[in-house]
Chain A
Amino acid sequence: MRARRFLPGGWLSTYAFLYIVFLYLPVIFLPVFSINTAATPKFPLTGFTLQWYEDLPRTPALLDAAWNSLIVGVSAAILSTVLGILAARSITRYRYPGRRAINGLIMAPLVLPEVIVAISMLLVMLQLGLSLSLFTVVLGHVLICIPYSMTVLTSGFEGFDRSLEEASADLGESAFGTFRRVTLPMVAPAIISSLLVCFTISLDEFIIAFFLTGTEATLPIYIWGQLRFASKLPGVLALGTLLLVASLLLMTIAEMLRRRAARRTQNEGGLYA
């Protein structure tokens, strides 16, 4: 007989439903008001328009920001995934003293206030005489992306059958050859998943970009600048909606790939478990 549980499922499902509404509702207002004719976001809605979207490609500053975001996002995703692969492989494959401490240090940016991470990096970069640019933004984004990359990759690498690699080595492959021809194909979905997650984080990240950029804006910095002008709000809502859709798409693909990777290595439990 199964034990009776505290709180019947019925009440909890209702609560779960309300909670999901609470999570999603605020975000849904952005797309709703981005297709409304009125320039201020308030009820009742006045009418349907795509005007705010049509204006977006005619804004040079926005196109520059989008291009900057793309460059920063791709560079940050590649760099942090490479560093993430090395670290995740080391953590899941080898046992050595200090492993947990090193892991903790690499994961630390996840739980530190972003402002403090940002200003400390800013201080060092200014001391080193590095001029602030998109490059310094990439450096900052890589630091905060590595923990996410590690999480995704560890779940893909764990439970990986070592005997496959050993078989390959026994058959005469070099260590690198084994990695390229045996390990890599197995974990490829996890790697692509990590690239997508890191790109999305970089695309959406504001604080570190805000502190570490010179004169070039990324999309969130552009949005921040526009927020001062009430008349620009509908355009910002339209742009925000596009960013939301991009993030959701990328993260859904990433999650599907990650699950496939986890299934391949027969590893249950997910990104979060």
Chain B
Amino acid sequence: MTVAAEGLPPLRTTRARRNALLQSEPVQGFALISPTLLYALILLVLPILVVIAHSFWTQHYLTIDRTFTLENYRVALTEPIYRDLLWRSLYISLTVSLFTVVLAYPIAYFISFHGGRHKSLWLFLITIPFWTSYLLRVMSWKVILGYNGVLNSGLMGLGIIDEPSTALLYNSSAVIITLTHAWAAFAILPIFVSLEKVDRTLVEAATDLGDDPLRSFLRVTLPLSAPGIISAALIVMIPTVGDYVTPKLVGGKDGVMIANTIQAQFGKAANWPLGAALSVTTMLIVSLMAGATVLIIRTLQRMAR
């Protein structure tokens, strides 16, 4: 600052200019956010870069060989065990995001169009279970779906089945049900927000011009709420692909997902580079899937108009 100003205008103006710069909006705003930004850079961006770096290295027992290699990615993409886990995780997260969005849409619609004065109460009611421990909610599904669980004993008590069904727990359906329940609130909020932004006069206009309620919903309300549907789908899809607790507690052998094997690479298997490559691959593929979902919803939105 001072070096650049040397020999130029008198000191007083320089100082004044410097003060003006320090008091300018961008500088003050940036200075204020910098501690938080720094925290995110050190504990989020840097770690992710370190993971990416590791994915190109090799583990030799206790040491890591830092010569560049794509071997981990070859293993991650071609070894049947990892490929199958990856596919299953993608399938589960796609199914879960589809279910949550389809189940959440009518609720968001109900609150937005029929909620009246109690909109925020409804939202609060729906988000409250979401604020309870995720681990406990998964655990309660284990209690419900278990061999000696609520559902089996309840159905037997009612005389609907004679012996406990083993089909309920320890498979990918149990994982899908549990995740759909766990992420329900997350899908409602973005859809609700975008429905709130739908101009009600447009819906009226469509009805006045002779569209029946179903048609005006399909051609006006639904396409206009597409941004909410998109963020709801993404906000569920991306985190669920890497879910660890649910497959571990209710998934059994058939419900194991990629996060469980990633964890194993950093734990028992002690192959950090492979774990890193699996993480990067999962994130890349789920991003591709998310991108495709956005494209599909946008195309449908355009077709509906």
Q: Which residues of A are at the interface with B, using a C-beta cutoff of 8 A?
A: 2-7, 9, 12-13, 15-16, 19-20, 22-24, 26-27, 29-30, 33, 40-44, 83-84, 86-87, 89-91, 93-99, 102, 105-106, 108-117, 119-124, 127, 139-140, 142-143, 146, 200, 203-204, 206-207, 211, 220, 223-224, 227, 236-237, 240, 243-244, 247-248, 251-252, 255, 259, 270, 272-273
B residues 253-287 near A (Cβ < 8 Å) are: 259, 262-263, 266, 272, 275-276, 279, 282-283
Q: Contact: B139 with A240, CB < 8 Å?
A: yes
B residues 16-35 near A (Cβ < 8 Å) are: 25-30, 32-33, 35
Beyond the given pairs A30-B139, A91-B33, A123-B266, 10 more chain A to chain B contacts, judged by CB atoms under 8 angstroms and listed by A's residue number, are A5-B203, A20-B125, A27-B136, A27-B137, A96-B27, A96-B30, A111-B239, A113-B283, A123-B51, A240-B133
Q: How far is the CA of A27 from the CA of B201 in the complex (A)?
A: 40
Which chain A residue has the least Cβ–Cβ distance from B154? A43
Q: How far is the CA of A273 from the CA of B120 in the complex (A)?
A: 9
A90 partner, pick from B29, B43, B192, B235, beta carbons under 8 A: B29
A43-B150, A142-B39, A143-B39 known; A243-B133 Cβ under 8 A: yes
Q: Which residues of B are at the interface with A, using a C-beta cutoff of 8 A?
A: 25-30, 32-33, 35-37, 39-41, 43-48, 50-51, 54, 103, 106-107, 109-111, 113-114, 120, 122-129, 131-137, 139-141, 143-144, 146, 148-150, 152-154, 157, 181, 184-185, 189, 192-193, 196, 200, 203-204, 206-208, 213-214, 216-218, 221, 234-235, 238-245, 249, 259, 262-263, 266, 272, 275-276, 279, 282-283
Which chain A residue has the least Cβ–Cβ distance from B46? A124
Closest 9 CB pairs of A and B: A113-B242, A94-B29, A6-B217, A120-B47, A96-B26, A42-B153, A204-B133, A90-B33, A90-B32
Q: Contact: B239 with A255, CB < 8 Å?
A: no
A27-B129, A113-B238, A119-B51 known; A240-B144 Cβ under 8 A: no
Which chain A residue has the least Cβ–Cβ distance from B267? A211
Chain B residues contacting A227 (CB-CB under 8 Å) are: 139, 249
Q: Contact: A244 with B133, CB < 8 Å?
A: yes
B36, B189, B203, B208 pick with most chain A CB within 10 angstroms: B36
B132 to nearest A CB, angstroms? 5
Which chain B residue has the least Cβ–Cβ distance from A272? B189
Q: Contact: A236 with B50, CB < 8 Å?
A: no
B51, B107, B131, B272 pick with most chain A CB within 10 angstroms: B131
Chain A residues contacting B203 (CB-CB under 8 Å) are: 3, 5
Q: How far is the CA of A44 from the CA of B276 in the complex (A)?
A: 48
Q: List 25 A-B contacts (CB under 8 A).
A: A3-B208, A7-B109, A7-B213, A12-B110, A12-B114, A16-B122, A19-B126, A23-B184, A29-B140, A40-B148, A42-B152, A42-B153, A87-B33, A87-B37, A90-B33, A94-B30, A114-B242, A115-B242, A123-B54, A123-B272, A124-B43, A203-B133, A204-B135, A206-B135, A247-B133
Chain B residues contacting A87 (CB-CB under 8 Å) are: 32-33, 36-37
Q: How far is the CA of A116 from the CA of B50 in the complex (A)?
A: 12
A42-B152, A116-B283, A119-B51 known; A102-B134 Cβ under 8 A: no
Which chain A residue has the least Cβ–Cβ distance from B106? A15
Chain A residues contacting B43 (CB-CB under 8 Å) are: 121, 124, 139-140, 142-143
Q: How far is the CA of A113 from the CA of B253 in the complex (A)?
A: 22
Q: Contact: B266 with A206, CB < 8 Å?
A: no
A120-B47, A127-B50, A224-B135 known; A83-B149 Cβ under 8 A: no
Chain A residues contacting B103 (CB-CB under 8 Å) are: 19
Q: How far is the CA of A266 from the CA of B267 in the complex (A)?
A: 51
Chain B residues contacting A93 (CB-CB under 8 Å) are: 29, 32
Q: Contact: A236 with B139, CB < 8 Å?
A: yes
Which chain B residue has the least Cβ–Cβ distance from A91? B33
Q: Contact: B241 with A113, CB < 8 Å?
A: yes
Q: Contact: A115 with B124, CB < 8 Å?
A: no
Chain A residues contacting B189 (CB-CB under 8 Å) are: 272
